Structure 1
Amino acid sequence: MKEQRKLPALRAHIDQLIGKGWVIAGRNPLALRKGRKSWVVNHGMLISEDLAA
């Protein structure tokens, strides 16, 4: 079966983050959260958001 996922390296990195306690906080766009830290996947990039602002 042919691999249909795009950006497998990003997927692997996100899997590692989930293994370290990050949780999926949203799916469209994909958002990850751990404590007060939050990251969003935008155009194939994982972008940090400062929630303290």
Structure 2
Amino acid sequence: MQSQEQRQYHAMRAHIAQLLASGWQIIGRQPLQLRHGRKTCQVRHGMLISDSML
């Protein structure tokens, strides 16, 4: 049997990997939350959401 890829939002995963490489940190996982300095954002329903401009 072939294993089937279960992951979704491949572009979002790549974007988050770029954020992590540029210094962002994961501060929560349910939902995924990221922080860089005073900026924070979270991933909800496949979208990266922030209270301010990133």
Q: TM-score, normalised by structure 1?
A: 0.86
Q: Which residue of 1 aligns with 2:14?
A: 12
Flag as ranges the 4+ runs of structure 1 deviating above 2 A: none
Q: Which residue of 1 aligns with 2:34?
A: 32
Name the CA distance, whole Å, in 2 between partners of 1:23 and 1:3. Answer: 26
Q: TM-score, normalised by structure 2?
A: 0.84
Identity of aligned residues (%): 58
Unaligned runs of 5+ in 1: none
Deviation at 1:2, TM superposition (A): 2.6
Q: Output the amino acid matched with 1:31.
A: Q
Q: Output the amino acid matched with 1:26.
A: G
How many residues are treated as equivalent by the alignment?
Answer: 50
